[in-house]
Structure 1
Amino acid sequence: MQKNTPYILFLTFVLLVTVSFFLLIKDFLLACFWAIILAVVFYPVYQWINRYFKNSEILPLFLTMLTIILVFVIPLLIITLMITEESTAYYQKIQSGEINPQVYFQDTLALLLPKFNKLSHIQEISVEQISASAGNAFTQAVQYIAQQLPALTQNILNLIVQVALSFYILFFLLRDGQQLIRKLIALIPIGDKIEIELFERFTSVARATVKGGLLVAVIQGSIGGLLFWFVGIPAAFLWGMLMIVLSLLPIGSALIWAPAAVILFLQGYTLKAVILLSVGIFVIAMIDNFLRPRLIGKDSKMSDYLVLVSTLGGISWFSLTGFVLGPIIAALFITFWDILGKYNQASNS
């Protein structure tokens, strides 16, 4: 017992120092997380570029990081600013009375529920009441998005620091990532085979979520937004952004374009409804089946219900970062229990 005392004491100090270190960098953990995710997703790109510039160490790194900026950072920044600008303009129109969401919802409900007021068991609820509630909820949602611009402007310095730190860490992860993984495998005392399996699981889910899920969602939402604009639906850009968010989930963007097609049909715009429904079924819905397997390749997949629950839980816990972190935690959870099951089977046999 006494022989183990120094080792236990040492492990205690290791744990205390580790916790202290994470508390020290807690404000920058988000930057570290995105640096790791970007390194995992774009490391194959770095390897591909490195094959053409074997005599230079810096140039492949520079070109890879430039690719990340052009493919990931700039589009994300543009989309964020456009959402905020569109929301602000739309909210100003609501406040000036140019747009009245309550009237829109009232007209829609009147079309969908022509006999609503004749239902005896809910006589106390009227179309006007529901439309007022829906209109207020829509207005508040638009207002919330519009109010994020001042907050974004106030935190611009912090955002610049976080992005700069992410790319600084990313540089070293791309260059020394394989060595770091080998060191971690050697240091973590739970068995090399288990650690390699965990790293592979983390890598596959991160790539599947970002490369497959995010890109497919952006394509589907962009097509949906353009389609809404083409058929003349108000706030097409905002609806497109909402379709991007829903496309990240197994629920899909059909929750937006399918009801919109029904409403257009009930309003008498049959051609527009047919166009919306046709593009939705044969283009937007098929993109998921056509592009996702090619973008994800052999990366691991999880059940749709698990993706849905873990993504929603991740967003609830970690804000927008949760759409990546949630599925990763769920995948590691499954992997740990699978490994535990294998060990139990091996012990019993």
Structure 2
Amino acid sequence: MVPSSTPEKSFSRDLLNVLIRAGLIVVLVLFCFEIFRPFRDLMLWSVILAITLYPLQKRLMGPLGHKEGLIATLIVLISIIILMVPIYLLGTSIADSVQNTMSTVKAGDFQIAPPPDSIAGLPLVGKRLSGIWLQASIDLPGLTQKYLPQIKDVSLTLLSKIAGVGMGFLTFIFALIIAGIFMAYGEAGSRSAVQIASRVSDPGKGAKIAELCTATIRAVALGVVGIAFIQMLLVGVGFVMKGVPGAGLLALGVLLLGILQLPATLITVPVIAFVFATEGASTATIIFAIYVFVAGLVDNVLKPLLLGRGVDVPMPVVLIGALGGMVTGGIIGLFIGPVVLAVGYQLFWQWVEDAP
């Protein structure tokens, strides 16, 4: 006769084995995540770029033959060449603006006009603001010495942000190269994505989920991030060619506004007013004003063409993704955040709608 305690011991032993295996799997996953974490944003960006550019590769397969590696290499090289010119101009503009500002301050040629009387009448902060402004117009070195710690902290923060932007562009170039490697194995990658989606969810829904993720990534990457980047390049080139002070920083502001779904006219209109106020009305300033104003509105033409393809992603989702990504990942997260959050949003509602 088998003792009655045998089933209980067997159950306990099986449960212990399951817990040990699960614990080992958790430890392995955590170790893998720690190793992969430094490359997480880079790989996410590479996958997003590869998925976004893959339709262009498929179009070129007809005229150039079925050579995925060659076509992917051509796309990456042409993209880098196109991007390096405006990025170089914007970087040079930022460096020149900082250098000119430092030279002007050191030479003592920087003069500030006294504050108007209306400033002192502002509620709460009017008198204090007017006093600081007046001291800056009379004794700027003394005011600078008084607030030197605060100025130093702000300057270091600004320099770190500028360095982060430069690192973001460099990371973008590396991500583009890795995306080219992914595109060189595009068909195999597409099959792998379907297999993974089928294994995670359901064999009958794997292809549908993979298609939904792909469409969401392309819609947001082209319709939000891509349009904002194109708008930044168009407006930034106009600022640089005209010699607007701080053209690079203003162009980055246009990029930020575009991703946050705010109008670029918040920057272009004041810049146009500044150019007219300093240079007057002439043929060059009028042409500059027309070009910059139209470039600031180009998103209204491109959004219906690009954002409407694939899926419908609410703008609050894009906005929250951009803000959250910028807080957690800086300039890289500003690009990745909207795409990742949009994919999660679409998958969540797909799961809700598929409920029995």
**TM-score normalised per structure 2:** 0.70
CA distance 1:207–1:323, shift in 2 (3 Å): farther
| Alignment counterpart, residue 307 of structure 1, candidates 318, 325, 328 | 318
User: What are the within-5 Å matches in structure 2 for residues 1-349 of structure 1?
Assistant: 2=11, 5=15, 10=21, 12-54=23-65, 56=67, 58-72=69-83, 74=84, 78=88, 81-82=91-92, 84-97=94-107, 100=110, 103=112, 110=116, 115-119=118-122, 122-127=125-130, 129=132, 166=178, 169-170=181-182, 173-174=185-186, 176-188=188-200, 190-192=201-203, 195-225=206-236, 227-228=238-239, 233-261=244-272, 283-296=294-307, 298-344=309-355, 346=356
Following TM superposition, by how much is the alpha carbon of 1:194 offset from its aligned partner in structure 2, in angstroms?
Answer: 5.4
Q: Which consecutive unaligned segments of at least 5 residues does structure 1 have? A: none
Following TM superposition, by how much is the alpha carbon of 1:85 offset from its aligned partner in structure 2, in angstroms?
Answer: 2.6
Q: Are 1:61 and 1:174, in contact at CA under 8 Å, matched by a contact in 2?
A: no
SS across alignment from 1:316: helix
Q: Are 2:194 and 2:207, in contact at CA under 8 Å, matched by a contact in 1?
A: no
Q: What percentage of aligned pairs have identical amino acids?
A: 17
Following TM superposition, by how much is the alpha carbon of 1:292 offset from its aligned partner in structure 2, in angstroms?
Answer: 2.5
CA distance 1:333–1:206, shift in 2 (3 Å): closer
User: Which stretch shifts more, 234-243 or 221-230?
Assistant: 221-230
* Counterpart residue type for residue 96 of structure 1: K
Indicate the RMSD between aligned Cα atoms, in angstroms: 4.6
CA distance in 1, matches of 2:58, 2:182: 14
* Counterpart residue type for residue 44 of structure 2: F
SS across alignment from 1:251: coil
Following TM superposition, by how much is the alpha carbon of 1:314 offset from its aligned partner in structure 2, in angstroms?
Answer: 0.5
- Return the index of the structure with the highest Cα Rg: 2
SS across alignment from 1:186: helix
Q: Are 1:209 and 1:324, in contact at CA under 8 Å, matched by a contact in 2?
A: no
* Counterpart residue type for residue 118 of structure 2: K
CA distance 1:78–1:193, shift in 2 (3 Å): farther
CA distance in 2, matches of 1:300, 1:174: 22
Following TM superposition, by how much is the alpha carbon of 1:316 offset from its aligned partner in structure 2, in angstroms?
Answer: 0.7
* Deviation sequence 1:72-126 (CA, Å, 0-9, x none): 5x357536743553354244335424674x83xx67x74xxx5222357555323
Q: Are 2:260 and 2:318, in contact at CA under 8 Å, matched by a contact in 1?
A: yes
Give the number of aligned pairs. Answer: 332
Following TM superposition, by how much is the alpha carbon of 1:15 offset from its aligned partner in structure 2, in angstroms?
Answer: 3.9
**TM-score normalised per structure 1:** 0.72
CA distance 1:128–1:166, shift in 2 (3 Å): farther
User: Which stretch shifts more, 204-213 or 139-148?
Assistant: 139-148
SS across alignment from 2:127: coil
Q: Are 1:28 and 1:162, in contact at CA under 8 Å, matched by a contact in 2?
A: no
